[in-house]
Structure 1
Amino acid sequence: MTTDPSTEAAARQFEEHRGLLTGVAYRMLGRVADAEDVVQDAWLRWEGADRSAVREPRAYLVRVVTRLAVDRLRQIKARNESYVGPWLPEPYVTDLGAFAAEPADTARRAELADSVSFAVLVVLETLSPLERAVFVLREAFGFPHAEIAAMLGRGEPAVRRMAVRARRHVEEGRPRYRAGAGERRDLTERFLAAAAGGDLERLLEVLAPDVRLVADTGGRAKAPLRELFSADKVARFLQGVRKRAANTWTVRPVEVNGGPAYLLLDDGRPDTLVQADVADGLIRTVFLVRNPDKLRALTGPRA
């Protein structure tokens, strides 16, 4: 059985842009499975398209993925109205080189890491689907306003207004600090060691006085259903967790959403992902993901 040469060529072209398409879809949706579904749907459309009429495959494929993601996001937003407790993106083991529109230098990789961080994706959840699309395409991947307008079927002036509005909203909501991966990893290690050892004094040394803890369980695991604020409340919650923790827990370092994190496994099964935002030598935000549906991918081939 032979393969149609045109199909082989279409597959090669699609694979060339898969990293970019996945990056767009994940930033739009914040969910690995939904992003992969959108990219697969885009492939089916690409395979069945009249490719001889497509002058710019990259722009065509991004347009298809963006429109599919906007439609999917509208469905997800309705579904999220019944989500139990705080929502965090599904952790994604990041290869930022594959997530880029073109090869990235160190500064560009830092920008890409920021655009896929938990903190930024949580803020993006508050945008309308079209505003989110404009922000992702413009800020994360640098597409011109005119090209974005063509992708979304909107006028360029309207896209420019959405871009300004979305950027202002994200800047107001995102953290106003950034620490290097090494500092984040070191502080998170110290944080976990103090929490595991039940050392309240050492724990308070690494937490900012106004630290907040955000835990995503989806109602499937134990954790606060509201954000915790203040070092004292966060530390005492963690001490309570330690008393209930299993002796079979192990810790695995991973890189998710552009930054260092630690996966806690209970008897080999993923139980909790911990990631921290850091500034001025202190932990400012602790993110906990305990929803088992969101941790499943971290033990698969991608991880």
Structure 2
Amino acid sequence: MDRVVETVVGAAHEAPFMKHRGLLYAVAYRTLGSAKEAEDVVQEAWLRWSRVDPATVVDAEAFLVRVTIRLAIDELRSARVRREAYLGPWLPEPILTRPDIADGVLLADSVSTALLLVLETLSPLERAVFVLREAFGYPYGEIAQFLGRGEPAVRQLAHRARKAVENRRHRYDSDPVTRQQVTERFLAACSGGDITALVGVLAPNVTMVSDGGGFTGAPRKLIHGSDLVARAIVVLSRQQPVGSTGAILHLNGSPGVVVHCDGTTVLAMTLHLVEGLVQTLHVVSNPQKLTGIAL
């Protein structure tokens, strides 16, 4: 009898949580820019949910989002201290996304590495408000309840965050066909070690940002200019393990290049275009940031 009761109670807890788990992860990842930290936050949210009686919760989604966003804010504050000591440039942890991510341009844009980097410049509270409002459309009153703040204060945070993002973000091409075609040309040039072909898909003032976290030979400084970036990419390609293969997968809402060897991802590149040419290239080779990209 006791086991039957435990099963029923377990199901009562698990069903509402699993229903909203994807949402909780999406909120946490956009707030933190790290898949591992987002998973940790979601796991902690589950532990806290498991200690409550679901029958006493009027709105499970509101309860879980409130717990998750508060945990994410706390995690972000401690993560920023760690990132200050990071070796070389820090980039958001790339994640796989569907080509039709939520069938919405806004959701796809909200997970792009370019925007996530801009969000790094916001305060934890500003970032949380921006994510909840701009990416998920929660009303100000509900966000205020999530954060334990007054609605006027939340509106002010949202205004500051939106203004900061508008001033700092770059406007990149969003046409999916163009991005797919350029990514295919980029991968073909990389695979062939063709510097001329690479220069042909790069903007003259392209910037390459590499995140190796001190674990790989990734450059610790930004590289500027199509010729230098093309040569750096060719060198990078030659440094990959024997048997490595490149593939185009959707990373953070747009086509990207993933290099894998024996089933292990060793490199992930996201391309940001302006007028059909690669303006910014984000390269992640830190193995700790690639575990979430399963092929």
1:96–1:38 distance in 2 versus 1, CA, 3 Å:
farther
In 1, Cα distance between equivalents of 2:54 and 2:260: 47
Cα deviation 1:203-223 (Å, max 9, x = unaligned): 111111111111111011112
SS at match of 1:17: helix
Q: Match of 1:91, as an amino acid?
A: P
TM-score by length of 2: 0.93
- Structure 1 unaligned runs (5+)? none
What residue in structure 2 maps to residue 185 of structure 1? 180
Q: How big is the shift at 1:180?
A: 2.5
Q: Match of 1:55, as an amino acid?
A: V
Q: How big is the shift at 1:246?
A: 4.5
Q: Match of 1:77, as an amino acid?
A: R
Residues 205 and 226 in structure 2, CA contact (< 8 A), matched pair in contact too = yes
Cα deviation 1:40-88 (Å, max 9, x = unaligned): 1111111211433321111111000000111111111111110011111
Alignment of 1:8-157 (within 5 A): 8-95=11-98, 104=102, 106=103, 109-157=104-152
2:256 is aligned with 1:261 = yes
Counting matched residue pairs gives: 292
Residues 212 and 234 in structure 1, CA contact (< 8 A), matched pair in contact too = yes
SS at match of 1:297: coil
What residue in structure 1 maps to residue 211 of structure 2? 216
Q: How big is the shift at 1:245?
A: 4.5
In 1, Cα distance between equivalents of 2:18 and 2:240: 43
Residues 184 and 248 in structure 2, CA contact (< 8 A), matched pair in contact too = no
SS at match of 2:245: strand
1:210–1:287 distance in 2 versus 1, CA, 3 Å:
same
Name the Cα RMSD after superposition: 1.8
In 2, Cα distance between equivalents of 1:163 and 1:139: 9
Q: Match of 1:196, as an amino acid?
A: S
Percent of aligned positions that are identical: 48
Cα deviation 1:167-207 (Å, max 9, x = unaligned): 11112222213322332122122112223323222211111
What residue in structure 2 maps to residue 298 of structure 1? 293
Cα deviation 1:103-124 (Å, max 9, x = unaligned): x5x4xx2110100010011111
Alignment of 1:138-287 (within 5 A): 138-287=133-282
1:206–1:150 distance in 2 versus 1, CA, 3 Å:
same
In 1, Cα distance between equivalents of 2:28 and 2:96: 15
In 2, Cα distance between equivalents of 1:288 and 1:55: 44
Cα deviation 1:139-171 (Å, max 9, x = unaligned): 000011111111111111111111011111112
In 2, Cα distance between equivalents of 1:256 and 1:280: 20
Residues 173 and 275 in structure 2, CA contact (< 8 A), matched pair in contact too = no
TM-score by length of 1: 0.90
- Structure 2 unaligned runs (5+)? none
Q: Match of 2:285, as an amino acid?
A: R
Residues 70 and 133 in structure 1, CA contact (< 8 A), matched pair in contact too = yes
In 1, Cα distance between equivalents of 2:187 and 2:66: 43
SS at match of 1:285: strand
- Please say which of residues 261-270 and 140-149 is displaced more in the overlay: 261-270
Residues 188 and 275 in structure 1, CA contact (< 8 A), matched pair in contact too = no
